[in-house]
Amino acid sequence: MDSYKNILDTFFFSMFPYIIIFTFLLVTIQRYRAKAYTFSSLSSQFLENKQHFWAMVPFHYGIISVLTAHLIWFLVPETVLWWNSVPARLYIMEIAMFIFGLMTFIGLLNIILRRRNNALAKIVTSKADWVVLGFLTVQVVTGLYTAYFYRWGSSWFAASLTPYLWSVIKFSPDLTYITAMPFMVKAHIVSAYSIILLFPFTRLVHALVVPNPYLWRKSQVVRWNWNRKTIRNPKNNS
Q: Which residues contact 54 (CB under 8 A, 6 or more apart)?
A: 107, 110
Closest of 185, 130, 177, 119 to residue 152, by C-alpha:
185
pLDDT tens-place string over residues 52-109: 888 999 999 999 999 999 999 999 999 999 999 999 999 999 999 999 999 999 999 9
User: Could you report the per-residue pLDDT of 111-130, keeping only the tens digit for each?
Assistant: 999 999 988 888 888 899 99
Instruction: Write down the H helix ranges in the chain.
Output: 2-10, 16-34, 50-75, 77-84, 87-117, 119-123, 127-149, 153-156, 162-169, 183-198, 228-231
Q: pLDDT confidence of 2, banded at 50, 70, 90?
A: confident
For residue 51, name the pLDDT band (cuts at 50, 70, 90): confident
> What confidence tens digit (pLDDT) does each residue in 155-186 have?
999 999 999 999 999 999 999 999 989 999 99
Residue 98: how many other CB atoms lie within 10 Å: 17
pTM of the model: 0.82
The CATH classification of domain 2-32+75-237, taken from the options 3.40.50.1370, 1.10.357.10, 1.20.950.20, 1.10.3720.10 = 1.20.950.20
